[in-house]
Amino acid sequence: MSATTKGEPQAHWRHLAILCLAVVLSMTAWFSATAVGPELVSLWSLSPAMSAWLTNGVQIGFVTGALLSSFVNLPDIVRLNRLMAIAALVAALANALLLVAPSPAMAMASRVLTGMALAGVYPPAMKLAATWFIKGRGLALGAVIAALTAGSALPHLTRAFSGSLDWQVVVISASVALIAAAILFQTAIHEGPYPFSRAVFRLGQIRDVLRDRNLLLANLGYFGHMWELYAMWAWLLTYLRAAPALADLSPGAASGLTFAAIAAGVVGCFAGGILSDRYGRTATTAGMMITSGACAAFIGFAFVGPAWLLALVILIWGASIIGDSAQFSAAVTELSDPRLVGTALSLQMAIGFLLTVGAIWLMPVLAEALDSWQWVFLFLVPGPAIGAGAMLALRRNPASLKLAQGRR
């Protein structure tokens, strides 16, 4: 990469924009089955607990894929853009298997494979974006998470506008988007002028990561964030379809509002990146989690209406629940020993996504036990509460001055 290119910020942002577009297209597969969950539940007579695995299969596949990729050092063996292109094509095929799945077991297998393939897109995209930025890295990583958020929301938008069409439209659209993403990854994306040194996951380094109190606090923040995030994303559509506040609206209203809520996270991610780079990682993440936790606690009161109040809470929650996500990864890269970055990030991501499996499984079980969805999101509140407390504790530690060039 030439010095001229290094000195052209516009080229950096242009490349980030193309990368984010490809990530948007890729992540449409994450919730493609969730968006058509009611149809699949009816098709296979799934219980509430079984329907949770339409999303949990992706979570488990993602954790498995991320760890396997780290163990064999895949991102260093295969060029990042080529790895992401291949992974996107595999995800397109795995997602399309839903169209011909003869049984729930085959459908769950397709979701696991989809998650494993997406592990070859999302983490490498974060690493590739960071190679284009040193100053402003928080905003750049926030942009990638915003792209992930937008892509996750798109199946709900398709569902909202295709109410008269078969559910297969949502699944087909996601696979077509993945093929388009693969083309972009292969032809229009490459690493930037600030590549990382070799950093991989090694079992022997886990103990060193776990002994680092500063990393522990940053990880606790991330774990609290993850406990809340995917459970809300996975079950918001079901929650809104059950809400009396929306009973008099059109059948597509719940899907449309679900899309709007998740898509609001795009604004939250950019806001989180800007605030984090300017005012500090701990202040931004704690503030976001306090806001999202308050929404999780309050939404039960808006369940019965009025509709505008429920929509307002959902939109604020959607923006705040994801706005801090990229900053936990940025914090780990700044706090950890450079030799442990790969291990620290892999461990953080693996444990965080494993927690989402429990939270996603718990929501329909609680709804069945309470005979209503109204108060189930209250059980997500401990996550952001613990996370915010951990980040505020980290803020009081002198080591937090390593964050965001001294902005805690």
Give the model's pLDDT for residue 10: 77
Average pLDDT over every residue of 5-17: 71
Average pLDDT over every residue of 126-131: 81
Give the model's pLDDT for residue 325: 87
Q: What is the pLDDT of residues 321-353, one digit of tens each?
A: 998 888 888 887 778 776 666 667 777 888 888
User: What are the C-alpha distances in Å from 282 to residues 132, 237, 296, 305?
Assistant: 24, 31, 21, 35
Q: Is the pLDDT of residue 363 over 80?
A: yes
Give the model's pLDDT for residue 7: 42
What band does 2 get if pLDDT is binned at 50, 70 and 90? very low
Q: Show the domains of the chain with their CATH numbers.
A: 1-196 (1.20.1250.20), 199-408 (1.20.1250.20)
Give the model's pLDDT for residue 407: 63
Q: Is the pLDDT of residue 207 over 90?
A: no
Give the model's pLDDT for residue 321: 95
Q: What percent of the chain has pLDDT over 90?
A: 34
Mean pLDDT over the full length of the chain: 84
Query: For residues 371 and 137, which has the higher predicted lDDT (pLDDT)?
Result: 371
**How far is C-alpha 30 from the chain's CA centre?**
9
What band does 385 get if pLDDT is binned at 50, 70 and 90? very high
Q: Is the pLDDT of residue 296 over 60?
A: yes
User: What are the C-alpha distances in Å from 362 to residues 52, 107, 130, 357, 382?
Assistant: 9, 21, 35, 9, 14
Q: Is the pLDDT of residue 148 over 80?
A: yes
